[in-house]
Every structure is written in C-alpha cells, then in structure tokens.
Amino acid sequence: MSAAYTTVDSPIGELLLLGDEHGLSGLYMQRQRYGPERDPAWRHDPAPFADATSQLEEYFAGARTEFDLALAPGGTPFQRRVWGLLREIPFGETTTYGALAQALGNPRTVRAVGLANGHNPISIVVPCHRVIGADGSLVGFGGGLERKRALLAHEAEVREGFRATLW
C-alpha cells in the first residue's frame, strides 16, 4: 500500500498527516523544519487517519492527554529510542535534553539527543515540544518557538483545569 496523507486544521495551523498500513509515520506543521515536500506518489485519503484526527481534536479541546495510535516512524535505532523516551514525558510536564541523554545511559549524547528530537517526524503525538533547555528556556522546535510555547501553554492550562476540578 502506498503512503496516504491528509491534512487537518488545528489551533496551531494546518497539520499534515502521513501513514501507511503500519501506522502514522508523520505529523508535520506548516513550514516545519525537516518537514517533507509533498510527494506525487502519496494518495490523499483521510479515512486511514480518522483515529488520529479524532484524537488530535480531543487533544486540542483539552479532553485527551495521551495518544493511542499505531505509529510507524522511520529513523535510526538511536532516533527511535529518543522518540520512545519523548512519549514517556507526562502531559503538561517538561524535561531537558540532558535528562534524556542521562536516561539513555550516556550524558555525552546530549547533542545527538537534540538532533534526534529535532528530526521527530510525528510532532505532538511524540511530544518533542516538551523538551526544553537546561536553563528552562524554550529552545529548538521544528515547528517554531511560537508553536512550542502555544502547545506548552495549552497543556498547562488543561492540566490546571483538571486540578481545579478535583477540588
């Protein structure tokens, strides 16, 4: 089966979803660094992305804090390990590149972790926006720092609203 794609609107702009029978292989924002050019071999078909579209709508509505989708990212084994760690960062929380390198067992890989993070092909679902600089600054996001700030603010707001309903 050839790669399929669709686009969905979101509060941070149009999102391009790519995938095949193995799952979602890409979720890119407009003008995203390292984003793909549209390939004429891709076929437009929103049907395979119904779950992803629904879950993204729930995420942006504040009703979803975790994604449950079949993922099929490309990448090297090291990149896939980093992307796996990104999926473990809790909703509304952040970590640093150094902490991820430490979790991989080699603090000297911090730059490689940053590169892998920057090449994450499945933004939002694999939450690379939750990685910040060691000093707490917002750094390095392929979708742009304004979008990173917006995603983190959205998650903080949803998390605070959830806490408020518990009291």
Residues designated as active site: 128
The contacts of residue 39 (CB under 8 Å, 6+ apart) are 3
Tokens of 161: 């609203």
CA distance 80 to 140: 18
Task: State which H helix or E strand residue 26 sits in.
Answer: strand 23-29
Nearest to 58 by CA among 6, 117, 128, 8: 8
Short-list 152, 151, 127, 159, CA closest to 63: 159
**What is the number of residues in the chain?**
167
Tell me which amino acid residue 83 is. Answer: W
